[in-house]
Amino acid sequence: MVYPSAGVGNIIIGGKWSNVPGVRLRAAHSSPVGAIRIYRITQNPPDKPMGYANGTGGLFKYELKADAGGVPGAILAGGVYIADPEYPEWLNRGGFPLIGFPTFPVLSKGSLYHFTITNVDADPITNYSSINFLECQPGKTNPDPNHVVELSAQGVPWRLETQRIASPFGVFYADGNKQGNGGYQLSADKLSTLAGDAYGFGGL
């Protein structure tokens, strides 16, 4: 899907705010989940020498959770994962890792679930990197209610980040189905361009 957008913005995973970002998703299929793909910035871009990553980059626990009244609930699957080097993205010094789980949780079509990322490094304030999403144009909100960015920070309960678009973000089911958004950067007309097959988001 292609969205009008104001650009791409990051959320530090960990850092001084102890950020725990996530995506609330409504399952489009009833099937086991094979993997989830995201967009991470692992180094500070050349024109932005700070604010995206620091130290070792951190160590992350990825979890898929059931819904508990609109916020993340019971853990369905998860584990600590070191991002693979597949699909590096040189413009912003990032990448598009494919997140696998040790088990294959079965999602139910129409139900809400939550994909969350926690920095479990021994020093997450110093060692961190970022997840990147498209940001809405001024005065606009995320047009996709089935994929919504959410955030917990500084011990504050989860909130929806409606000024962000959960893109690029992909859920890949074991039966071959997929859901999510592949919009990644902006073209001259301010529309998002698709990450597509080049970055592992083909068909979104």
Please indicate, yes or no, if residue 204 is contained in any of the structural domains: no
In a domain, 162, yes or no: yes
> How many whole angstroms separate alpha carbon 130 and alpha carbon 20?
11
- Mean pLDDT, to the nearest integer, of 144-153? 97
Range of the domain at 47: 7-199
- As a whole number, mean pLDDT of residues 82-101 equals 70
Per-residue pLDDT of 35-81, as tens digits, reads 999 999 888 877 776 789 999 889 899 999 999 999 999 999 987 76
Please give the tally of structural domains in the chain.
1
pTM reported for the whole predicted model: 0.92
Residue 195, in any domain of the structure:
yes
CB 185 within 8 A of CB 198: no
